[in-house]
Amino acid sequence: MTLIQPSPVAVETAPQHRSRAVLATGFVLLLGLLAAVCFFSITLGSRGVGIPTIWKAFTDYDPSSASQTVIRELRVPRTLIGIFAGAALGISGAILQGVTRNPLADPGIMGINAGAAAFIVFGIMVLGAQDVSTYVWFAFAGAGVATVTVYGIASFGREGATPVKLALAGAAVTAILTSITSAIVMTNVEALNQLRFWQVGSLAGRYFPVFWQTVPFLAIGLVVALGTGRALNGLALGEDLALALGQRVRLTRVVMFVTVAVLCGAATAACGPIVFVGLIVPHIARMICGPDYRWILSYSLLLTPILLLAADIVGRLAVAPGELQVGVVLGVLGAPAFILLVRYRNLAEL
């Protein structure tokens, strides 16, 4: 889907750091790595299973077999949610960094996590929501409302929603929603306990109902997002030059933010607020494939679920037979990784 008029100049003026053949080869290798991580995500954990058991779980399912039940009812939906949610967070981070021209932009900049948390608290206190499959819809609605609010506030003024205004509006809305949520949960033990379970960020306990509720939004959003690469290449030249080239900058921004709201809203609803992947993965993709957003988006599509599922596997094995939630693992591993990235790369060049 091309959101603005094609602009060959936008792509051709950017230095090509890698040939198309090399990038295509790298993409295929990442597909293989993702397949391997998915295999280990299904087989590894507190209960190890072998290939014969996996094969029987899908071809000759025995409900009395605990191992086969674990595979079909726990690990497969967990892995599928990790793939789709990870891809959504990575592509959303890449789009936000491109459209705001802010190397530190991530899904949280639009108040998505804060909006989702606020609506979950509302659902718990007012409507009596009790389980993850119900949280999905409150979290999704909250993420969407927060994103629309941020963009609406930033759009005031003749110049419209500039990158600086978007960042400031996002910070303001996030602060307000976070304060309201904190005030409520500190006076309501039930809301605090329920929110704490969701807010840690996890793939555990996400079964097929959660997957089927969120996958339509994730799939449509990913298809649209993958078509924004040429538009992002145009915006990378600067708004004035993009306008001079005939690109519809405001329309592009609106469609991109709607896409980000759908992707991040669904991913956050399914898994809770997952930190760092939407921030750091686009930078890694940019280091590998250069400034062309068509490749940055494609690489982010694979790199993020690889990282997310790998962190989930580490969390299962590190304290077996217990488990560390993926949000905790990514927080521990992601912060040093980002510090190293800042140390050895100039973010202004990314």
56-73 pLDDT per residue, tens: 888 888 777 888 888 888
CA distances (Å), origin 291, targets 3, 78, 230, 234, 283: 19, 33, 11, 11, 10
Residue given tokens 């899904």 in the structure block? 107
Token digits of residue 79: 């892995």
> 83 vs 49, which has greater pLDDT?
83
Identify the band that residue 295 occupies on the pLDDT scale cut at 50, 70 and 90.
very high
pLDDT at 346 over 60: no
Task: Determine the angle formed by the axes of helices 293-318 and 277-289, rounding to 10 degrees.
Answer: 130
- Position 94 scores a pLDDT of 92
Q: What is the pLDDT of residue 1?
A: 43
Residue 43: half-sphere exposure toward Cβ, Cα within 13 Å: 13
Computed over every residue of the chain, the mean pLDDT equals 81
For the stretch 96-126, what's the b/e string if a residue is b when 16 or more beta carbons lie within 10 angstroms of its beta carbon? Answer: bbbbbebbebbbbbbbbbbbbbbbbbbbbbe
Measured distance CA(138)–CA(117) in Å, rounded: 9
222-269: pLDDT as tens digits: 999 998 888 888 877 776 776 666 677 778 888 888 888 889 888 888
Residue 320 predicted with pLDDT over 80: no
User: What percentage of residues in the chain have a pLDDT greater than 70?
Assistant: 86
Contact call for residues 321 and 46 (beta carbons, < 8 A): yes
Provide the pLDDT confidence category of residue 6 given band limits of 50, 70 and 90. very low
Which pLDDT belongs to residue 152?
Answer: 84
Q: Contact, 316 vs 252, CB < 8 A?
A: no
**Tens of pLDDT, residues 114-124:** 888 888 788 87
Q: Under a CB-based contact definition with an 8 Å cutoff, are residues 287 and 347 in contact?
A: no
Tokens 């077996």 found at: 320
Could you tell me the two tokens for 208? 């097929």
The token duo for 15 is 């230095």
Contacts of 249 (CB under 8 A, 6+ apart): 4, 235, 239, 242, 243
Top-confidence residue, 205 or 282: 282
| 284-301 mean pLDDT | 91
User: Is the confidence at residue 297, as pLDDT, over 70?
Assistant: yes
Residue 287: is it exposed, middle or buried by C-beta count within 10 angstroms (0-12/13-18/19+)?
A: middle
Per-residue CA distances from 41 to 70, 76, 318, 329 (Å):
12, 8, 14, 15
Domains located in the chain, CATH noted: 8-25+76-349 (1.10.3470.10)
